[in-house]
Structure formats: structure tokens, C-alpha cells
Amino acid sequence: MSALRVGEMIRQARRKQGLAQAELAGRLNVSQATVSSWETERLTPNDDQLAVLEQVLDTALSAAGISTSLTWKDAIVHVLSSSGEAMAYSDITEQIVDRGLRTSVGPTPANTVYAIIHKSLHDEGGDSPFYKAGPGTFGLRVHQEPAAQWSPDEEHSDGLEEVVVETDRTIIRALGMFWLREKVEWKRNPAILGRQHIGADNVDFAGQRGVYLLHDRHKVVYVGRSVDRPLGQRLYEHTRDRHSGRWDRFSWFGLLDIDQNGQLNPEMPTASGEAVINALEAILIECLEPPQNRRRGDHLDAVEFIQRPDPEIDRKKRQELMQDLLSQVK
């Protein structure tokens, strides 16, 4: 049953009890605007709020449920409504995936969430349900505190111009930390596979450009760059050169965007001096983890991808096992 059905049930139960929206809001310790947003589907009450609503209205609401096939925008609104505060778009994505609010999330769900919110702010302006609380952080307008709208330039009072331009994004678009060498089938053009979240499709980062680190367990033993040759080829070369026996893991920081089909955009981004400095700081913090710095710093909104093993490895293992069994039979 859809979220709209829940809103209709709240409205009907409230009227049956002879309560005005303001009265119901008072009993729930929320604003009248929040109750109105529940009834008009702009917001969805979280589990705790549903439980209190059921007691106050004397009706079953949780059984109405939330559709597990929400649109991206509705899923974002649902997560932010439950949170009651602004969230990083990567955290919004994680909640959408964990709660199963989308039956299909594609290869780059975090990128999709980021794009959906920005499009709403650009196309709908002040009518958008979202506001920008900070770099890569968004909330619902009904939860917005006065003067909470983020703007790096006070001349832009509505903050929308900055949303469209996306000046706050770093040049680092994606990253992977401490990926295992043994999960890659090494060849000249290997598959360097990762995914944003459980349930997301795999993305092949063999063609990524940027910087990488080779680790011996957690110790960095080499730092390199993939510019004239892509990441996959550079790493393959290190399985055959003087570094071959000195590393078992690798980390990477990529400059190329990933589209909604999971393909790398071959165009290298342009960047200001400030963006380059922000990226350098973020990479150093991520790699060195100094105790007095925040994890990832203030300017790294790139999505971290989780490594996925190359299916070719399992296929070869199964093939070898079958050959061993056949040889024993003979």
C-alpha cells in the first residue's frame, strides 16, 4: 500500500476523532505543517510517529506500510522525514538501500540521489521539498531552522545558484580503500570491480584515472598515478615489476565520474586551485588518518566503493576443482 494511502488514513482518522491538524500536532509534539505534510504525502511519519498516531487516532496505520517501489524522490523524502534532520547524500542513499525502498538501485545510487535533489532544487526552486544544509548535505524544508540554508556567498540568499553550479564538489569523484589484490584476475586489462552499496550493480574501474597506493597490509609502500595509462593497467604492471612481492592491497582515488549506467566518463574534470588543494587535503587525511582530523576532512564528498571479486576467479576455481575430481575418478 502506498504512502498516499497512509496520508489519507491519517486525515480520515483525525477527522473521525474531531481533531484539527493543530490539535493533533500538539498531542504529537510536532508542528501543524508536519501533520499537513503527512496528509498530503510530502512527508511520511517514521515508525515511532506511526506508533503514537495509532494510539492518538485509535486506528491501525503501520499495517498500511510503505511502498517498496518508491520513486527516487519519494524514497529520499521518506528517509529525510524519518531522520528529521539534514543528512549527507551518501547516508541518504545507504538508508534507501538498507530499507529496501527501491527494488532496483542501479550501479551508482549515490550519484542518482545527488542528481535528483539538485534537479528538484533547480527546477522547483522554493517549492522543492529539499534545502541544502552544507556541502553534499541536504534536508527537508519543513525541518529547516531559520537561516539554515547553506550558501558560500551571502549575496545569494536562496542558495540555489550554488546548488546548480555544484562548486562544492571535489575533483575526487570515487574512491576505494584497501582493496585486496587476490580478488582481481590480473591481466593487461583486468576487471577492477566495485559497487556503491549492497544490491547495487558492479562498476568496472579499470579505466579510472587518478592516484593510487599500494599497501603491505595497512602500510603504504608505493604511491603512483594513472594518467597516461588507466588504473587497471598500472596496477597490472605492479604485479610484474620490482614491487610485485611487496603489496597485497591497494587504494585508489578517481577523477572520472560514473554515469547512471555504470560507465566511466572519459572526460577529465577541470578544477580550480582551491579544488585541487581540497582534494590533496582529503586524500592525505583519508590515507594517514591523523587523530586530530575528521575522517575524510571537510571537502571529500566522493563515494567510497566496496570491492567485488572478479567472477573469473571463482569460475577458474570451480574448473580446477572439477579437473581434480575427474583426475581422482580416473
| Whole-number pLDDT of residue 167 | 43
Helices then strands (H, E): number in the chain? 11, 11
* 8 A C-beta contact, residue 137 and residue 163: no
DSSP label at 240?
T
C-alpha cell at 226: 594513472
| Whole-number pLDDT of residue 136 | 84
Look-up of cell digits 584515472: 209
Burial class (CB in 10 A: 0-12, 13-18, 19+), 177: middle
Amino acid at 237: E
Per-residue pLDDT tens digits for 232-277: 999 999 999 999 999 999 999 999 998 878 899 998 888 888 888 8
| Whole-number pLDDT of residue 164 | 36
| Whole-number pLDDT of residue 166 | 44
pLDDT block averages, 10 residues each, the chain of length 330: 63 87 87 83 73 77 56 90 89 86 83 90 91 90 71 42 44 92 95 89 95 93 95 97 96 91 88 84 82 64 88 89 83
* 8 A C-beta contact, residue 182 and residue 312: no
Look-up of cell digits 542558495: 159
Coil, helix or strand at residue 273: helix
User: What pTM value is reported for the model?
Assistant: 0.63
| Whole-number pLDDT of residue 292 | 76
Dihedral sign for Cα atoms in the order 26, 29, 34, 35: negative
DSSP-assigned letters across all residues of 171-230: S--EEEEEEEGGGS--SSS---EEESSTTSPPEE-TT--EEEEEEETTEEEEEEEESSS-
C-alpha cell at 141: 524544508
Phi, psi of 180 (to 5 degrees): -85, 130
Cα angle 56-61-63, degrees, rounded to a multiple of 5: 145
The separation between CA 329 and the C-alpha centre of its own chain, rounded to angstroms, equals 51
Domains of the chain by residue range = 3-64, 72-165, 174-313
- Distances, alpha carbon 145 to alpha carbons 40, 123, 139, 148, in Å: 22, 23, 10, 5
Alpha-carbon distance of 307 to 287, in angstroms, equals: 17
Coil, helix or strand at residue 303: strand
At how many degrees (to 10) do helices 3-16 and 32-39 cross?
120
Amino acid at 212: Y
Coil, helix or strand at residue 293: coil
What's the chain's length in residues? 330
| Whole-number pLDDT of residue 295 | 58
Alpha-carbon distance of 35 to 22, in angstroms, equals: 8
Alpha-carbon distance of 77 to 64, in angstroms, equals: 18
| Whole-number pLDDT of residue 154 | 40
Name every residue whose Cβ is closer than 8 Å to that of residue 105 and which is 6 or more positions away in sequence.
Answer: 96, 97, 112, 197, 199, 200, 201
DSSP H helical segments within the chain, as ranges?
Answer: 3-16, 21-28, 32-39, 47-57, 72-83, 89-99, 109-124, 160-165, 231-237, 273-288, 311-329
Domain 3-64 has CATH 3.50.50.60: no
